[in-house]
Structure 1
Amino acid sequence: MTTETVQKETPAIAIIGGTGLTQLEGPEIQQTHTPETRLGQPSSAVEEGQWNGRRVLFLARHGHPHAVPPHKINYRANLLALKELGATHVIAVNAVGGIRSDMVSGRIAIPHQVVDYTWGREGTFFDGDFMPLDHIDLTHPYDEELRQQIIAAADRREMAVSDDGVYAATQGPRLETVAEIVRLERDGCDLVGMTGMPEAALARELGLAYASICLVVNPAAGKSDGEITMAEIKAVIDSGMGQVRDLIAETLKGM
């Protein structure tokens, strides 16, 4: 079936799970959609359910199981599928490296800006083919109202989060070199991840309110004495994603 045939009248809050969040505990799942958009299939099936009185949609950005690398994600199909299923807001979860001194492992940050270092990705719906050429204002890439709702939810939970941060979107899937992190820091970046763009821009093109919850899972290259290991990253993800889920749940209560 196509996503056009399952349009919903009730607005939904979409949650895009990143590394470490391929399944979402909390919602009462009522059905699973397997959409085929005009731009292909999204990374995973879309689960629909109720959570704290809200209709929610959940999509695993890297698929389930975790298999699709950052540069091969069909970001356009992901956002289009969520839009056509009735999403009006998107809360994206991103696992990131910490550049700024307070962005230590386990820290949760709600970024306010992004710098895009990716290349070769399908980054617009306005390509003159799928949609006519157009331009969007991306001065503020994250929806400020949604950002503030997440920050307020953290305050209610007495959860310490960073209420700002400049997200550097790199190509991946490899991690960065020390010299690259020095460059990003010089450019004013506080966090480094691989999936923040073109996701934020595509959401804006579709008129979706979009914000990110970043979990710092490792110090960026050169910000610690040792090498970055996947075992250490997994340990932080295992301990930190529970807090991310709690923050999403509290955000839904306040929306």
Structure 2
Amino acid sequence: MIRIKCGDSNLDPMPIKIGIIGGSGLDDPDILENRKETHITTPFGETSDALIEGEIAGVKCVLLARHGRKHDIMPTNVNYRANIWAMRNLNCTHVIVSTACGSLREDIRPGDLIAPHDFIDRTTKRAQTFYDGSENSPRGVCHLPVFPAFNDRTRKLLISTASELGYTVRDGGTVVAIEGPRYSSRAESNMYRQWGGDLVNMTICPEVVLAKEAGLLYASIAMATDYDCWRIGCESVNVEEVLKTFAENVVKIKKILTKAVENIAKEDWSEEIESANQCVCKNTMSADM
């Protein structure tokens, strides 16, 4: 059973281990050296697939295919709790992910990369917390603050890594998370735009929330693959279009994430990790308090 360590702070340098969760097209185990498959059964069930442990430039990493390596798990049925719990169980300190999104803005074009900073959750069927009162869950109720939603230091590092490689990543964006697996109606798409959404996606929630609840430093590289259906004169989004755009640009995301692993490992994250853990401790209520 994993417990967030509360109490006295420990700011000694911590060994970095990075979880990578890949969406469509970014679950290639060949990015890892010395890899081995690990199967973990969590208190919340099975992970989407085997976890592939290995190294990138000598940095320990864990790779997981969000939808399974056969891409046969629809967004609602992804076991987000098991996936994030397993990352924590394997002592990951960071989780960096890729995700495909529809663009809700004219200036975010298909193929563009974005490092989102916030979300609007429109999902309705997904477990949002580890602290659910079940026998094997952590004790108490966690009233998790989700500002900032993403770990900003990790997010900024992904942006600077992209720049180092000669790629442009948009700094910030609000992702509207929808249940799926269907795409939006035009009325919904326009409503999300009025709300201030920049992207629409089916997997960012509850993944980002659970990562924060697990004390992990989480950031995402999102790729705009289409204009959803709000844009007059454009063909409505379809799977063929999404996969084509993603395939044409996925190499950029692979290079950014693998180089980011090296760059993350060069820095001391002890204070950031401690702060992430204390955030959970300070916002969990239980009879032990």
Which TM class, normalised by the smaller chain length?
A: over 0.9
Q: Tell me the equivalent position of 1:147.
A: 155
**Larger deviation, residues 225-234 vs 208-217:** 225-234
Paired residues of 2:228 and 2:236 also in contact (CA < 8 A): no
Task: After TM superposition, give the deviation of residue 19 of structure 1 in Å.
Answer: 2.0
Task: After TM superposition, give the deviation of residue 100 of structure 1 in Å.
Answer: 1.3
SS of match in other structure, 1:82: helix
Paired residues of 2:104 and 2:198 also in contact (CA < 8 A): yes
Q: 1:234 pairs with 243, 260, 278, which one?
A: 243
User: Is 1:166 aligned to 2:171, yes or no?
Assistant: no
Residues 87-98 of structure 1 correspond to what in structure 2 (within 5 A)? 87-98=92-103
Residues 56-205 of structure 1 correspond to what in structure 2 (within 5 A)? 56-129=61-134, 130-131=137-138, 132-205=140-213
Paired residues of 2:104 and 2:230 also in contact (CA < 8 A): no
Tell me how far apart the structure 2 counterparts of residues 204 and 117 of structure 1 sit (CA, whole Å). 19
SS of match in other structure, 1:197: helix
Paired residues of 1:22 and 1:62 also in contact (CA < 8 A): no
Q: Deviations over 1:34-85 (max 9, x none)?
A: 1111111000100011102311100011011101010111100000011101
SS of match in other structure, 2:208: helix
Tell me how far apart the structure 2 counterparts of residues 110 and 25 of structure 1 sit (CA, whole Å). 24
SS of match in other structure, 1:48: strand
Relative to 1, partners in 2 of residues 1:57 and 1:157: Cα closer, same or farther, differing over 3 Å? same
Relative to 1, partners in 2 of residues 1:10 and 1:48: Cα closer, same or farther, differing over 3 Å? farther
Q: Tell me the equivalent position of 2:35.
A: 30
Aligned CA RMSD, in angstroms, stands at: 1.7
Tell me how far apart the structure 1 counterparts of residues 142 and 166 of structure 2 sit (CA, whole Å). 42
Q: Tell me the equivalent position of 2:229.
A: 221
Task: After TM superposition, give the deviation of residue 10 of structure 1 in Å.
Answer: 4.9
Q: Deviations over 1:13-51 (max 9, x none)?
A: 000011222324422142110111111100010001110
Tell me how far apart the structure 1 counterparts of residues 114 and 234 of structure 2 sit (CA, whole Å). 23
Relative to 1, partners in 2 of residues 1:161 and 1:210: Cα closer, same or farther, differing over 3 Å? same
Q: Tell me the equivalent position of 1:251.
A: 260
- Give the residue type in structure 1 aligned to 2:258: A
Paired residues of 2:161 and 2:256 also in contact (CA < 8 A): yes
Paired residues of 1:22 and 1:66 also in contact (CA < 8 A): no
**Larger deviation, residues 240-249 vs 227-236:** 227-236
Instruction: Return the TM-score normalized by structure 2.
Output: 0.83
SS of match in other structure, 1:198: helix
SS of match in other structure, 1:101: coil
What is the aligned residue count?
Answer: 250
Q: Deviations over 1:195-235 (max 9, x none)?
A: 00011110111100001110111111122521323222111
- Give the residue type in structure 1 aligned to 2:237: I
Q: Deviations over 1:94-144 (max 9, x none)?
A: 111011112111011000111100002111011122222121111111000
Q: Tell me the equivalent position of 1:212.
A: 220
Relative to 1, partners in 2 of residues 1:50 and 1:232: Cα closer, same or farther, differing over 3 Å? same
Paired residues of 1:10 and 1:55 also in contact (CA < 8 A): no
The answer for unaligned runs of 5 or more in structure 2 is 3-13, 265-289
Tell me how far apart the structure 1 counterparts of residues 235 and 257 of structure 2 sit (CA, whole Å). 33
Task: After TM superposition, give the deviation of residue 190 of structure 1 in Å.
Answer: 0.1
Q: Tell me the equivalent position of 1:47.
A: 52
Q: How many percent identity over aligned positions?
A: 31
The answer for unaligned runs of 5 or more in structure 1 is 4-8
